[in-house]
């Protein structure tokens, strides 16, 4: 049926926010939880909400992207909404998506704005942060790398960012969570960008420009300490990505 929507959520030890997330999507036609062998109460929470649960082997993966296609193809609806285990879907967004798919000219994919929070503060300078998360299941393909968007068979469009009630809510992260994810995600960046040439000049300019962009050009300074933390973290993300790529390319020089 072309009027059905499946919500797809990839999980690994996602108990902290999962109940809030599932509460926000419980009125969709189906919820598919693709779990990567969690050891906490993730599966118990998913079972409580009557989710369809499938398992993807964790192995040594450091992000959910390698499991995305498996998760999406496990859905039974014509349309798929991909939600992270720390994102909330508003009632307004759910109603908008169901109204949109009734239109014969509905695009094959929709970019949805995202409201990011850290340290319990909305990062206005990161909005709208559009994410291609809603699309037709058939013909979609999600690259197995962190921070990538799916390839969709057909035209895509954006939900107007001015409609902030239609944005996904990215739940507030603690400093610990930010640092943990930074280490995990930059490991995956090494695989995606392993052929990139790394120089000291590149490291300095890329990291500095990231800080300047987030703190000054995008107005992070207006957010006080929260804006400073976000700008530094963004710069550090680039720094550790480049350093890890360089380390991987030169590791043979230091092996005994």
All structural domains of the chain, each given as residue ranges with its CATH number in brackets, are 5-171 (3.90.550.10), 174-250 (no CATH)
Tens-digit pLDDT profile for residues 27-76: 999 999 999 999 999 999 999 999 999 999 999 888 889 999 999 999 99
Of 249 and 48, more confident: 48
Mean pLDDT along residues 224-251: 94
Compute the distance between CA of residue 94 and CA of residue 112 in angstroms, rounded to an integer: 12
pLDDT at 149: 94
The residue count for the chain? 256
Q: Name the DSSP class of 174.
A: P
For residue 147, give Cα distances in angstroms to 32, 127, 224. 21, 16, 27
pTM above 0.95, yes or no: no
Of 174 and 90, more confident: 90
* pLDDT-derived band at 256, boundaries 50, 70, 90: low
* pLDDT-derived band at 195, boundaries 50, 70, 90: confident
pLDDT at 252 over 90: no
pLDDT at 254: 57
Share of the chain above pLDDT 90, in %: 83
pLDDT at 135: 98
pLDDT at 188: 85
Indicate the average pLDDT of the chain.
Answer: 94
Share of the chain above pLDDT 70, in %: 98
pLDDT at 46: 98
pLDDT at 255 over 70: no
18: which residues sit within 8 A by CB, 6+ positions away?
Answer: 11, 42, 45, 46, 85
Tens-digit pLDDT profile for residues 100-142: 999 999 999 999 999 999 999 999 999 999 999 999 999 999 9
Cα 8 → chain centroid: 12
For residue 78, give Cα distances in angstroms to 49, 58, 95, 110, 139. 22, 27, 17, 14, 11
95: which residues sit within 8 A by CB, 6+ positions away?
Answer: none
Mean pLDDT along residues 145-160: 94
Compute the distance between CA of residue 23 and CA of residue 86 in angstroms, rounded to an integer: 12
For residue 229, give Cα distances in angstroms to 10, 56, 175, 188, 237. 27, 34, 9, 23, 12
């Amino acid at each position: 049926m072309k009027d059905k929507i499946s919500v797809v959520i990839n999980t690994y030890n996602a108990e902290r926010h999962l109940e809030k997330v599932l509460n926000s999507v419980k009125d969709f036609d189906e919820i598919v939880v693709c779990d990567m062998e969690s050891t906490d109460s993730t599966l118990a929470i998913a079972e409580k909400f009557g989710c369809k649960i499938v398992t993807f082997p964790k192995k040594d993966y450091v992000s959910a992207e390698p499991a995305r296609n498996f998760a999406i193809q496990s859905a039974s609806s014509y349309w798929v909404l991909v939600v992270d285990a720390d994102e909330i879907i508003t009632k307004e967004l759910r109603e908008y998506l169901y109204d949109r798919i009734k239109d014969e000219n509905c695009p094959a994919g929709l970019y949805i704005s995202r409201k990011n929070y850290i340290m319990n503060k909305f990062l206005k300078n990161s909005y709208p942060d559009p994410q291609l998360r809603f699309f037709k299941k058939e013909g979609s393909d999600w690259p197995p790398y962190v921070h990538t968007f799916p390839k969709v068979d057909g035209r895509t469009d954006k939900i107007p960012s001015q409609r902030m009630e239609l944005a996904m809510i990215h739940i507030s992260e603690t400093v610990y969570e930010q640092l943990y994810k930074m280490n995990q995600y930059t490991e995956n960046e090494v695989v995606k960008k392993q052929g990139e040439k790394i120089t000291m000049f590149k490291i300095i300019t890329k990291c500095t420009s990231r800080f300047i962009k987030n703190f000054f050009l995008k107005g992070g300074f207006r957010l006080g300490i929260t804006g400073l933390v976000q700008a530094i973290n963004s710069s550090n993300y680039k720094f550790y990505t480049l350093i890890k790529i360089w380390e991987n390319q030169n590791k043979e020089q230091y092996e005994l």
